[in-house]
Amino acid sequence: MSANRPVRLTVVRTEQLAPSMRRLVLGGDEFETFADRVRALPQRYTDLYVKLVFLADGFEYPVPLDLGVVKETMPQEAWPVLRTYTVSEVDEQERLVTIDFVVHGDEGVAGPWAAAAQPGDTIHLRGPNGGYAPDPSADWHLIVGDESALPAIAASIAALDDEATAVAFVEVDGPADERDLGGPAGLELHWLHRGEEAPGTTTLLDDAVRAMPWREGRVQAFVHGESALLKSVRAYLLRERRVARADVSVSAYWRRGTTEEGFRVWKSQQTDAVMRPST
């Protein structure tokens, strides 16, 4: 199968991890194609992500699905909607792909689909790609993000060495959204609760990072989530703490008040930010 063609996977089971987080476990005949693509990446990224492909109702699409053919031969209203999500796990033994979805109400495309998905439903995945993995040579790790980055945060914490030192700040709605992320004994995990505030409107993460006692040695930082983190936490690390740019992984996953299409336009206009690339 061409690398440009999305793979088609089937929902095997679902799980409600928290009030705002739903897990879908996917499998099917095309799992091996997806696993081959993961193996072909330059390294095993802990922010491994895919584009989920949502097809429009009322159209007959080519089989296998080829997005290039769709755009060349079908009307624009038939063009699929793409949404970017982090892969929580690729289980090669069980031949399963796990993706966790943030679900806030009935707005958007992917969240409502995930909330209603049942075993037997299908979805196409384009990708994968990634850009970050913990560097075992760093003296300590700083991990910062909201719930949109929680799958990548969980995978990054799981990938830390047993002797690693790390500080993590995760913003969620409230205590019910906290999860046991495991990790080494040297991990300090701080959950920040925004309560009734809307996602993307607080300064909780920025305030927490600035208030944290700074550790000695080389830090590798992972700062992913709503786009405001690019101007707050990223600026603090690079300008005030003088962290080397190569040691700061910053990626905007979403922007408050915009769809992913509008978000892509905004990303294309940014000249001084490290963004999650497109696939």
CB contact burial 104-141 (16+ within 10 A = b; e otherwise): eeeebebbebbeebeeeeebbbbbbbbbbbbeeebebb
Q: Residue 270: its pLDDT value, please?
A: 56
How far is the C-alpha of 107 from the C-alpha of 184, rounded, in Å? 37
Q: What is the CATH number of domain 140-275?
A: 3.40.50.80
CATH number of 7-129: 2.40.30.10
pLDDT mean values, one per 10 residues, the chain (279 residues)? 82 95 97 97 94 96 94 96 94 97 82 95 96 96 93 95 97 94 97 87 92 97 83 91 95 63 49 41
Sequence spans of domains, the chain: 7-129, 140-275
Measured torsion, CA atoms of residues 200, 201, 202, 205, in degrees rounded to the nearest 10: 20
Edge-to-edge order in the sheet of strand 186-193 = 186-193, 165-172, 140-146, 219-226, 248-254
Q: Is the dihedral of CA 257, 263, 265, 266 positive or negative?
A: positive
Helix then strand then coil, in percent of the chain rounded to 5, is 25, 30, 40
Same CATH topology for 7-129 and 140-275? no
